[in-house]
Amino acid sequence: MSTDIKLTFKDFKSDQEVRWCAGCGDHAILNSVQKAMAAMNIPKEKFAVIAGIGCSSRFPYYMNTYGFHTIHGRGAAIASGVKTANPDLSVWVINGDGDGLAIGGNHFIHLNRRNIDLNLLLFNNEIYGLTKGQYSPTTKEGTKTKTSPYGTIEHPFNPGELVLGAEGKYFARSIDVNMKLTQEILLNAQNHKGTSIVEILQNCVIFSNGVHSFYTDKETKLDRQLILHHGEKMIFGKNKDKGIVLDGLKLKVVTIGENGVSEDDILTHDAHEESPFLHWMLIHMKGPDFPIALGVIREVKASTYEQKMEDQIAEVKANSSIKNVNDLLHSGSTWTV
Amino acid sequence: MTDKIDKVIELDHVVIRFSGDSGDGMQLTGTLFSDTSALMGSGISTFPDYPAEIRAPQGTVGGVSGFQVHFGHDINTPGDYADVLVAMNPAALKATSKWVKQGGSIIVDRDSFTTKNLIKAGYKTDDPIKEDCLDRFNVILAPISSMTQETLKDTGMDNKTILRSKNMFALGMCYYLFNRELTFTEKFFESKFKKVPAVIEANKLVLKAGYNYGYNVQELTPYKVAAEEIKSGVYRNINGNTATAWGLTAAAEKANLSLFCGSYPITPATDILHELAKLKNLGVKTFQAEDEIGGITSAIGASFAGNFAVTTTSGPGLALKSEAIGLAVITELPLVIVNVQRGGPSTGLPTKTEQSDLMQALYGRNGESPVAVVAASTPSNCFHYAFKASQIALEHMTPVVLLTDGFLANGTQPWRIPNMEDYPDIQAPIAKEGTKDYLPYQRNKDNFVREWAIPGTPGLEHRIGGLEKMDKTGTVSYVPENHQVMTDLREEKIAHIVADIPDLEVIGEDGGDLLVVGWGGTYGHILTAVHDLQKEGKSISMVHFNYIKPLPANTKDIFKKFKKIVVAELNNGQFVNYLRLSLPEFTYLQYNKVMGLPFTSIELMDNFNNILEEK
């Protein structure tokens, strides 16, 4: 790739009118993605943006890159084919929580298992928006929606835990309105070789407005968000005086300066640790007892599917006497008449 | 001892069926017989017939595994009825004796006729020959197990290992009976078991013992079977699935593109994936997906990204892929979907053959969703039609369904190896870097084909997707008139493929009393029936379709020269109804069978004769 590519976010805007609702969190995410891509030093033609079906999945139409708006749930599977066929591309998958985790749940877990080098943005608004307000696999139990007028009786899952359960190597979390954090994560995800899952807590102004407001309210957000950076202490709070410690086999929120707790006692974030257990606990944290963990939570190096595919092909080619189809047709047992 | 060979039966062609328990090695026995016969210059066609279960209950009729070999002169099918049946146990006899020709021979392992085995096979008496009235055949009760034990008694092998070779005793008998050489099979033992010399020796001893037994007993009359008049060239045996895999690979080479196969295991198509997975030496990428949908969608992704992409499946898998095929239709990406048909509906008869997915291939999608449909008709021509399906997909930017079936997939025949120099280059309409004002849905005026801009090409960035596309620009459009235009264009594009497919050829006179119409895997059986009736002087001809959609241009001209048309197919009338829709000016008779089995040439002849006799 060229080392000096001057692109701005405007180069990534397509000529199509953006049709999301006013106030939809997707607008902020689109801006974050366009800005981040401009900063990646990758030629524009090397980007392929793939989506399934849902509000968020209109995304490719708004990007002036190669793009493919596919069918419901299959974005990850189609992108797996794109990257395996053409490893030179920077491949981005746009998924909603319904698209990626319900109808596309099977592809989602197998993508993580294979560790194909692509980036999947999971817009999580805990609702089906495009079909107008049905509960999704991430909707909190008891939530009233059009298909659960008396409250859901299903337990949701947490996307990050699904990633870990599927042997995933990379998981980050951001919030639609925090464009700075989102861009920082996207750049990091691009540099990570392997499947990078980025969950973005996204607000649907129509069907689940305020679903993440416990964490995003301006007044209280600093006390309810823990922004993680590899190698840094897990400290948060308005006064930067709260931290996370390990108490036996559980995490605990402590206040620095109280009960003899000093900064040294606070856990240091190690995103590169292969063992998923501390990452699991961080992903699992939720209010009111805990802040929500944001940033790159897990980033573990591992070989990628498409690289192993290329390596295996090179090795088998080098050791085979069959160089073309004519050789193949004459291989094995033949006879001449 | 030569006085023993005082009589010989001369035949044009012979059918042998090896039948035994699914653990008895019947597939190997049949393959070895077939390979030897091919090497000795016979025409060959084979078909395996095995239970869906890996290990069905031993000794029962459900667990019987068979392998039929038809060899000699003018061989088009694995044969209807067997001249010789080799039955390794009572269950095999029970299951297959109805497939023996009048006056044929049955060789049975006498030692297997224990009370326990007879009960398991469902015999009510201890004399199955009498019980099933098999004395009208030449039944040879050979002590196959005990002779095998006797042959190997000094080797120190345990009894179980020894009995594993009993299939080679039966094979040896057949080699005597049909005057086959042992050397090819001996060489096979040497390479197959090169790490265990004792096993090589044991198998050779038993094979020879079986041969000598055949020579020494007076009950067997040897046959002299005619050789094929064979065109010179280099030959190999090939089955339909391998030929399909290789045809796809050949197309990728001729298109100068990488081959990507996204697939999911399903009987009887899985062997195509197996074969392609071996071909990393030719750069083939196989992606064993998490499900059928992942198989086709990964392939569609690979196609978008610039590979030649294929997916392989059987009926139930094709159903799962329907929505994704629609995506390939609307995005106009090249894709070959191989459907190896089996008995349906639902899980149906996974290991049996049928032609009942034709309507699914043609119409089994939401919306007006036309694709091209091509069908192979012999095991070896799966190579050619896989190549042609690929060429159509790539040159016309469309999904193509290639139909084969369980009969073609597993059947083998000798194949005169083609030279790849005789195959054309495939010219996919790839948009070149520097194309001014590239529009994804701008079409070639002659054939309505759009250009394929491959991600990574500077300046050709564009978006495609499953929402209706605006003509030329490919942006999302809900304009009613545009939907009509695009629907018509997609249909027209498929219709224009007709310019690239050959005319139908009539086998027989160009006109007459009866035209027999077939398609796909029934070719050999129909051809045999029609040839035999032609020899009897009947006014009967045949056409066989490999191109289903679009139909060859001269179809109508051929049909109108015949008084009657009968369409024979292994379903309840799918092709005949497609013809009724496509060419409604003709009256079609039909002959159908849905038993999971191929036609027999005899039943076809009976039916055609009846039609010819009706006024």
HEC-encoded secondary structure of B135-197: HHCEEEEECHHHHHHHHCCCCCCCHHHHHCCHHHHHHHHHHHHCCCCCHHHHHHHHHHCCCCH
> Is B499 a domain residue?
no
Task: Say what the pTM is.
Answer: 0.92
The residues, any chain, with a CB within 8 Å of residue B69's CB and separated by 6 or more, are: B15, B16, B17, B18, B30, B33, B34, B37, B44, B45, B46, B78
SS3 labels along B400-417: EEEEEEHHHHHCEEEEEC
Which residues of chain A are within 8 Å of residue B331 when distances are taken between CB atoms?
Answer: 68
| B289-322 exposure pattern, b = at least 16 Cβ within 10 A, e = fewer | bbbbbbbbbbbbbbbbbbbbbbbbbbbbbbbbbe
Same domain, B80 and B178: yes
The residues, any chain, with a CB within 8 Å of residue B400's CB and separated by 6 or more, are: B335, B336, B337, B371, B372, B373, B374, B389, B390, B392, B393
Contact yes or no for B157/B205 (Cβ under 8 A)? no
Same domain, B218 and B242: no
Same domain, B207 and B65: yes
Q: Inter-chain contact A79–B235, Cβ cutoff 8 Å?
A: no
Q: pLDDT, tens digit, for every residue of A139-161?
A: 999 999 999 999 999 999 999 99
Instruction: Identify the band that residue B522 occupies on the pLDDT scale cut at 50, 70 and 90.
Output: very high
| Side-chain-side CA neighbours of residue B610 (13 Å) | 9
Cα separation, B23 vs B350, in Å, equals 20
Same domain, B283 and B391: yes
Q: pLDDT, tens digit, for every residue of B167-198?
A: 999 999 999 999 999 999 999 999 999 999 99
Cα separation, B414 vs B515, in Å, equals 29
> Is B430 a domain residue?
no
For residue B517, the cross-strand partners are B543, B567
Same domain, B216 and B75: yes
Contact yes or no for A10/A60 (Cβ under 8 A)? no
Q: Identify the pLDDT of residue A3.
A: 61
> Is B488 a domain residue?
no
Same domain, B210 and B260: no
Q: pLDDT, tens digit, for every residue of A13-42?
A: 999 999 999 999 999 999 999 999 999 999
Same domain, B326 and B402: yes
Q: pLDDT, tens digit, for every residue of B334-383?
A: 999 999 999 999 999 999 999 999 999 999 999 999 999 999 999 999 99
B367 touches chain A (CB under 8 A): no
| pLDDT surpassing 70 at residue B386 | yes
Q: Identify the pLDDT of residue B3.
A: 45
Which residues of chain A are within 8 Å of residue B455 when distances are taken between CB atoms?
Answer: 45-46, 48, 66, 82, 86, 89
Please give, rounded to a whole number of angstroms, the shortest distance from the CA of B301 to a CA of chain A.
4
CATH topology of domain A9-211: Rossmann fold (3.40.50)
Same domain, B266 and B311: yes
Which domain, by its residues, includes B595? Answer: 512-613
Residue B525: give its domain's CATH number: 3.40.50.11610
**ipTM of predicted complex:** 0.97
Amino acid found at B115: T
Which of B236, B281, B302 lies at the smallest CB-CB distance from A322?
Answer: B281
Contact yes or no for A44/A92 (Cβ under 8 A)? no
Higher pLDDT: A4 or A53? It is A53
The proportion of chain A whose per-residue pLDDT surpasses 70, expressed as a percent, equals 99
Same domain, B273 and B204: no
| pLDDT surpassing 60 at residue A178 | yes
Same domain, B201 and B264: no
Same domain, B85 and B198: yes
Which of B299, B331, B455 lies at the smallest CB-CB distance from A86?
Answer: B455
Please give, rounded to a whole number of angstroms, the shortest distance from the CA of A166 to a CA of chain B.
13
> Is B8 a domain residue?
yes
Q: Where among B375, B406, B422 does a domain terminate?
A: B422
Residue B337: give its domain's CATH number: 3.40.50.970
Cα separation, B374 vs B382, in Å, equals 10
> Is B167 a domain residue?
yes
In this prediction, residues A155-182 reach a mean pLDDT of: 97
Which of B128-136's residues contact partners 24+ apart within 8 Å by CB, and which partners?
A: B128/B90, B128/B93, B128/B94, B132/B93, B132/B94, B132/B97, B134/B93, B134/B97, B134/B106, B136/B102, B136/B103
The structural domain count of chain B equals 3
Q: Identify the pLDDT of residue B226.
A: 84
Please give, rounded to a whole number of angstroms, the shortest distance from the CA of A282 to a CA of chain B.
29
> Nearest-5° angle of CA B129, CA B132, CA B136?
65
Cα separation, B441 vs B449, in Å, equals 9
| pLDDT surpassing 70 at residue B5 | no
> Is B347 a domain residue?
yes
Nearest CA in chain B to A311: B280
Cα separation, A9 vs A57, in Å, equals 20
Q: Identify the pLDDT of residue B67.
A: 94
Same domain, B52 and B186: yes
Please give, rounded to a whole number of angstroms, the shortest distance from the CA of B318 to a CA of chain A.
16
**Could you tell me the two tokens for A133?**
């307000």
Q: Where are the domains of chain A?
A: 9-211
Q: Where among B422, B444, B465 does a domain terminate?
A: B422
B465 touches chain A (CB under 8 A): yes
Q: Inter-chain contact A50–B301, Cβ cutoff 8 Å?
A: yes
Q: Identify the pLDDT of residue B54.
A: 65
Query: For B537, left (φ over 0), alpha (ψ -120 to 50), or beta?
Result: left
**3-class SS at B70?**
strand
Q: Where among B375, B397, B422 does a domain terminate?
A: B422
Q: pLDDT, tens digit, for every residue of B584-605?
A: 999 999 999 999 999 999 999 9
Which residues of chain B are within 8 Å of residue A323 when distances are taken between CB atoms?
Answer: 281
> Is B162 a domain residue?
yes
Please give, rounded to a whole number of angstroms, the shortest distance from the CA of A188 to a CA of chain B.
22
Which residues of chain B are within 8 Å of residue A89 when distances are taken between CB atoms?
Answer: 305, 455-456
Query: Would you say how long chain B is, in residues?
Result: 615
Nearest CA in chain A to B260: A85
Tell me the CA distances in angstroms from B316 to A213, A231, B138, B284, B344, one per residue in order.
Answer: 46, 52, 44, 25, 8
